[in-house]
Amino acid sequence: MNIDNNFCWDHCPLCHSTHINKIGDADYSGEVKFSTQEVNLGRHPELWNCGQCSSRFVQNIIPEATSVLLYTNSNADQRWQSIPFEQHKTPEVIRTMAEVLVNKGRILDIGCNTGELLDFARSQGCITSGLEYSSASREILLSKGHSAHKSFDELTDKFDVITAFDLVEHLYDVPDFLNHCYDRLVSGGKLVLLTGDIQSVSARSAGAGWWYAQYPEHIVFPSKYFFEKFSDFQLETWLPTFASAGYVLPGYRVILSRLKRLITMNKYNGMPSRLPDHVMIILTKVDM
Ligand SMILES: [Zn+2]
């Protein structure tokens, strides 16, 4: 499918500053897939930096309306295997999530795919709802006994916890998303995010070639400073981690792989990463 990826920001999509600059060309290689669908991009995506909040974002991206269609029609359940949350995520993420859910209550998982996090939350005693674009995934959610919604507009309840793992990097309007979550949380409620950390050691050393920035769906990479200074939430926890347990490799394998890359003159793309390159973020709604 040919796609004109002609969308560019004239300001930082996170803090809205116009003080932005190009870091370099992204390095998409081989077959490019958007979720489960193969796409041919007409333009070269670029990684940009915000001088005010230090977040980064991609220019020359697929316009939002096209993305929504691609997400809606793709079977996300085919791309990601349904590995139980406790096996898929790192020990620190599982432990922290269990602590967040200790008071049970109502949880909403946004971009929940087939509901592995919700399965875990239910095992901790929570009442579980999921929000998911993909209709195939929503059917699976319902079959497992979770509530399933397509958009924020369908929600009437308030939640004690909202989770969004591997989601914010896909969003065209993160501030608007944070506002929606704020409105849907009870006072003292928590929003838990998991995303790539653009300020991690490997992301910094890989620059525009960072592996995590080479997906057409990954368009924004918010900094810690953005959450501290430009959101209504209070930043409670910033926990460096990995995308999943499978990325945690013994140090010697990481070093061998980097040696091999040096010998073959391949540029470092940040993988494998010796140090965490993702972050689990806990934001608390504190009423003013
Ligand atoms: Zn910014």
> Would you give per-residue pLDDT tens digits along the chain (288 residues)?
899 999 999 999 999 999 999 999 998 877 888 888 889 999 999 999 999 999 999 999 999 999 988 887 776 556 556 789 999 999 999 999 999 999 999 999 999 989 999 999 999 999 999 999 888 889 999 999 999 999 999 999 899 999 999 999 999 999 999 999 999 999 999 999 999 999 999 999 999 999 999 999 999 999 999 999 999 999 999 999 998 888 887 777 777 777 777 777 678 888 888 889 999 999 999 976
268 Cα to the center of ligand 1, angstroms? 26
Strands 32-34 and 37-41: antiparallel
- Please state, as a whole number, how many other Cβ atoms lie within 10 Å of the Cβ of residue 13: 21
121 Cα to the center of ligand 1, angstroms? 33
Q: For residues 132 and 113, what is the distance between their CA atoms, to the nearest angstrom?
A: 6
Task: For residue 281, give the nearest of 237, 247, 246, 241 by alpha carbon.
Answer: 237
DSSP the chain: -EE---B--SS-TTT--S-EEEEEE----SSEEETTEEEEESS--EEEEETTT--EEEESB--HHHHHHHHHHS-HHHHS----HHHHS-HHHHHHHHHHTTT--EEEEET-TTTHHHHHHHHTT-EEEEE-S-HHHHHHHHHTT-EEESSGGG--S-EEEEEEET-GGG-S-HHHHHHHHHHHEEEEEEEEEEEE-TTSHHHHHHGGG-GGG-STT--EE--HHHHHHHSSSEEEEEEEE-SSGGG---HHHHHHHHHHHHHTTPPP-S-S-SS--EEEEEEE----
37 Cα to the center of ligand 1, angstroms? 31
8 Cα to the center of ligand 1, angstroms? 15
Please list, in sequence order, all residues whose beta carbon lies within 8 angstroms of the beta carbon of residue 195, skipping any fewer than 6 positions away: 166, 167, 168, 169, 221, 222, 278, 279, 281
214 Cα to the center of ligand 1, angstroms? 21
Q: Encoding tokens for residue 161?
A: 């916890």
38 Cα to the center of ligand 1, angstroms? 31
